[in-house]
């Protein structure tokens, strides 16, 4: 049984570049300021949009389930990725900044 690499929101800087795999309505409601939005269903077709970095790429969703699936698949493709434990709920609970339309919130 393989394990999925993880990171926590406290390990990430407030200005971290992360990949957000939530749906468009969730993204619009509130997301990390430097996040890249690639919905989970679009991920296989949009690999070229992943951040170009030598560092591990944090992947996030609302609570960690979808991003966990994304991390498992991306790791199989050879990407250095980690699931953000607790997702955007944990990001928000940690008091980290949100961007979005209107009053940013987590759906």
This model's pTM is above 0.75? yes
The CATH code of domain 6-93 reads: 3.40.250.10
Q: Is 105 helix (H, G, I), strand (E, B) or coil?
A: coil
Beta bridge pairs of residue 31: 99
Q: What is the dihedral of CA 81, 106, 66, 27, to 10 degrees?
A: -80
Per residue of the chain (107 residues), give pLDDT as tens. 468 999 999 999 999 999 999 999 999 999 999 999 999 999 999 999 999 999 999 999 999 999 999 999 999 999 999 999 999 999 999 999 999 877 777 86
Question: Domain residues of the chain, as ranges?
Answer: 6-93
| Owner of token pair 């309505």 | 25
- Residues labelled catalytic: 61
Helix intervals (H) in 5-101: 24-29, 65-76, 87-93
């Amino acid at each position: 049984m393989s394990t999925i690499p993880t990171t926590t929101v406290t390990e990430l800087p407030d200005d971290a570049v992360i990949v957000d795999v939530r749906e468009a309505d969730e993204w619009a409601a509130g997301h990390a300021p430097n996040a890249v939005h690639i919905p989970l269903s679009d991920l296989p077709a949009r690999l070229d949009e992943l951040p170009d970095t030598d560092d591990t790429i944090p992947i996030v969703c609302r609570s960690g389930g979808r991003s966990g699936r994304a991390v498992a698949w991306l790791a199989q493709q050879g990407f250095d990725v980690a699931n953000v434990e607790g997702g955007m709920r944990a990001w928000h609970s940690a008091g980290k900044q949100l961007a979005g339309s209107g009053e940013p919130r987590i759906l």
